[in-house]
Amino acid sequence: MLRLPPFKYHRPDTVQDAVGLLAEFGDAAIPVSGGTDLIPNMKHRLFTPAHLVALKGVGELKGIHAGDGELVIGAAETLTDISLHPSVRLHFTALADAAGHVAGPQLRNSGTLGGNVCLDTRCTYYNQTHFWRQALGFCLKKDGDVCHVTKVGKKCVAAHSADTPPVLMTLRAQMDISGPGGDRTVPVMDFFVGDGIWNTRREPGEIVTRIRVPLAQSGANGDSESGMGYELRTAYVKLRQRQSIDFPLLTVAVAADVDSENRLHSLRGVVTGLGARPKELTGWDELGEGEVLTDELIDGLAERAFKQCRPLENMIVETEWRRAMVPVHVTRALRKLRRCDG
Ligand SMILES: Cc1cc2nc3c(=O)[nH]c(=O)nc-3n(C[C@H](O)[C@H](O)[C@H](O)COP(=O)(O)OP(=O)(O)OC[C@H]3O[C@@H](n4cnc5c(N)ncnc54)[C@H](O)[C@@H]3O)c2cc1C
Ligand code: SF4
């Protein structure tokens, strides 16, 4: 039985109080939302905070509503509520799908969107008990000075393993953040960095308060030159060992504006589960802009994705197999995009 280390639990009612508590206790405090990742990690002694600042009771972090051309989702909304919400399902099917495929039902009932976008990176050599990691001499990300995956350098390549960020990136979503320095907004696309030790641009003491997804992209996105309306289509697929519960070994999110003749505009693809941050697939517009999504085009896009993705030995499955799965899952995502209506 793994036990939690001792800590003090704080339950602020407002964002201001939560930020104040985090500032007061500094490095000794960590925010917790659903706790579905942080608590197991504390049991593994990956984190031993003296103070937990609970965000789930903060009313300002709740709610899903449309306003000012965007869908606003509070950071403390649960993944279950997001996956079932009519507006999310209507406008952003891939987001509902991704939220509904995180972990298993009990974890989604507690796990939140804020916790998902701030999820710690994962690695075979890191997500282990203290005893296990000690036997190996620890590693760069926690208590050690060597990376067992790369064997060289000072950068951790643990995998970004959250399902919703790739979708939010293809949707050009923004996140609002509050901290001791005030409030700021960061595009989800720019939030992640390539070092698995701390793979986000979130500063110490900051909390994510809400995610805003532009609604203008869904429905009639006007093309100023032709006057044609675009329809936003989104799709998401996930590779994991057990469909019922596991973290992704690979996630692919795709989105495109599609005109009335089924031609693609602004095709976007993001892959995650491979390295420390989600990877935007590049060069897709060169192949896809103004084209209909034929099988040949899908093959070309999948081949391009394969060339851009090189998984490392940060997970328990074989890297070459995981790489081979990239074009398979990109193909599945694009076929899903071709079929879906929104
Ligand atoms: C068996 C199992 C399977 C899982 N499978 C998946 C999976 O398939 N896909 C997946 O994406 N995840 C998976 N998870 C991880 C987790 O359940 C989800 O990512 C969940 O969304 C985390 O949200 P939470 O609210 O529980 O986060 P918490 O555990 O509360 O927090 C996670 C991290 O985010 C920080 N944090 C939380 N909220 C905020 C905020 N508002 N602002 C700033 N920082 C914040 C915390 O400090 C912590 O570092 C799995 C977990 C388990 C135990
Ligand atoms: S990638 Fe390297 S440094 Fe990072 S958790 Fe794994 S072994 Fe540790």
- Tell me the pLDDT tens digit for each residue of 123-140: 999 999 999 999 999 999
When the pLDDT of each residue in the chain is averaged and rounded to a whole number, the result is 94
Q: Say yes or no to pLDDT of 88 above 60.
A: yes
Q: What is the pLDDT of residue 342?
A: 41
Tokens (6 digits) for 312: 């490392």
Q: If pLDDT is split at 50, 70 and 90, which confidence band does 211 have?
A: very high
Report yes or no: 28 and 50 within 8 Å, Cβ to Cβ.
yes
Look at 39 and 216; give whichever has higher pLDDT. Answer: 39
Express as a percent the part of the chain with pLDDT over 70: 95
* Ligand 1 binding residues, C-beta < 6 A: 30-38, 40, 55, 75, 79, 102-103, 107, 110-112, 114-116, 118-120, 162-163, 207-208, 245-248
Half-sphere exposure of 109 (CA within 13 A, CB side): 3
Nearest-5° angle of CA 149, CA 36, CA 87?
A: 110
The pLDDT, as a whole number, for residue 216 is 64
What pLDDT does 217 receive?
47
What are the start-end ranges of the E strands in the chain? 8-10, 29-32, 51-54, 64-67, 70-74, 174-179, 182-187, 207-214, 221-222, 229-239, 250-258, 264-272, 279-280
pLDDT range class, residue 244, cuts 50, 70, 90: confident
C-beta of residue 36 within 8 angstroms of C-beta of residue 111 = yes
The pTM of this model reads: 0.96
Per the model's pLDDT, the better-predicted residue between 292 and 1 turns out to be 292
**Which amino acid is located at 202 in the chain?**
R
The answer to whether the Cα torsion of 104, 110, 113, 115 is positive or negative is: negative
Residue 124 alpha carbon, nearest atom of ligand 2: 6
CA of 266 to the centre of ligand 1 (A): 31
Both tokens of residue 263?
Answer: 């031609």
What is the torsional sign of CA 113, 118, 124, 125? negative
What is the three-class DSSP state of 148?
A: coil
pLDDT at 153: 84
What value does the mean pLDDT take over residues 69-79?
97
* Mean pLDDT lowest among 35-44, 213-222, 261-270, 274-283: 213-222
Judge whether residue 223 has pLDDT over 70.
Answer: no
Nearest residue to 216 via CA among 60, 83, 67, 28: 67
Given a cut of 70, is residue 291 above it in pLDDT? yes
Mean pLDDT score, 178-205: 97
Residue 121 has pLDDT above 70, yes or no: yes
- At 219 the pLDDT is 46
Residue type present at position 87: S
pLDDT at 93 over 90: yes
Residue partners of 6: CB distance under 8 A and separation at least 6: 50
Q: Which two tokens stand for residue 56?
A: 């789930």
- Pocket flag, ligand 2, residue 156 (CB < 6 Å): yes
Is the pLDDT score of 228 beyond 70?
no
User: Mean pLDDT across the stretch 14-41?
Assistant: 98
State the residue for tokens 């009519």.
Answer: 86
Q: 141 to each of 102, 158, 208, 277, 284, how far by Cα in Å? A: 24, 9, 23, 15, 34
Report the percent of the chain where pLDDT is more than 90.
90
Pocket test for ligand 2, best of 124, 142, 157 (most atoms within 8 A of CB): 157
Ligand 2 atom closest to the Cα of residue 126 is 5
